Amino acid sequence: MGPEFSLESPKATQAQLTTLMQNILDDDVVDLLAPSPSAPAPALTHSELAGCYRLAWQLLVTGVDLPATRQLVLAIAIKGSATAEQALQFKYMRARFKKMRFACANYSAQHSYPEKLDSITRLMGRFQDAFKNGQRRRLMWLGIKLWCRLRDDLFSTLHRTLTEAGLSTPESFRLYIAREDEHLAQSSHADAFLTARQFHDLRKIVSRRIALSDTRRALSPSPEYDALSLFLATINGLMGKMHDDLVMKKIENKLVYEQELFEFPEVVSSRIRALVAVQGGQ
């Protein structure tokens, strides 16, 4: 990332960290009346890219206590279920990891997830699905794996990986967004059919985009960023409910997740088309 960039400095304010976390928690709130954006978000400068990356990192390391997280995972795994409070604690912790993973895709020079961060975050998702769906044996096995992965040196190892990966340039970021928009456009045309896997991959793009918008508005509050995040949250929330249903059908052997096609609902695809129509100029 170069000597001009640091993940630790300048320090984010508590207000910025609190705002970003609240933005993340609102990421799936559906408002069907939320208007689509009328103009693309301004291009990100080098300084803004660095600021967004830094804020995601500081949200993670200031908000996650690894020993306490291991204890939480172990408690859920041994009991075979999670209390409402434990489920909420795990959700908040996982949200910080997801935010960091999205930041790596959005702001790193390679625009990709680091393997270790990606594998742990996906393992967290499977663990969460297991306790939400009452899969006790699977929960125990996944909990043991996750407990082993959440080592005390995780953040220092990840910090080294991020530092070595480098920061995106504004031009590289622009091309990355254009590629993501092209994928969104190709997958959301009228009467589109997708597999559950393709649908999930499409939602990841939406999640990365809302993570970007949420970080920008935490650093530079504006009505335009608020409106964009609200519109994206509606798409994300609709897709999240659909994906939960698809996962349940997979568990019940009512769906071949990787192969079976279903029609992409217009209530979602039309909003994605509206997003791409204006965001292409970013």
Domain ranges (residues) in the chain: 43-168, 170-282
pLDDT at 278: 86
**Residue among 172, 251, 218, 265 nearest 12 (CA):** 218
Q: Which residues lie across from 108 on neighbouring strands?
A: 167
CB distance 64 to 93 below 8 Å: yes
Identify the pLDDT of residue 253.
87
pLDDT number for residue 4: 58
What residues of the chain score a pLDDT lower than 50?
1-3, 281-282
> Whose structure tokens read 């960039």?
5
**pLDDT the model gives residue 160:** 95
Q: Can you give the pLDDT at residue 101? A: 97
Place of tokens 């009991």: 79
Residue 3: per-residue pLDDT: 43
Q: Which residues in 16-26 are b (16+ Cβ under 10 Å) and which e? A: bbebbbebbee
Q: What pLDDT is recorded for position 128?
A: 96
Q: Is 262 exposed, middle or buried (0-12, 13-18, 19+ CB in 10 A)?
A: middle
- Quote the pTM value: 0.92
Estimate to the nearest angstrom the gap between the alpha carbon of 117 and the chain centroid.
12
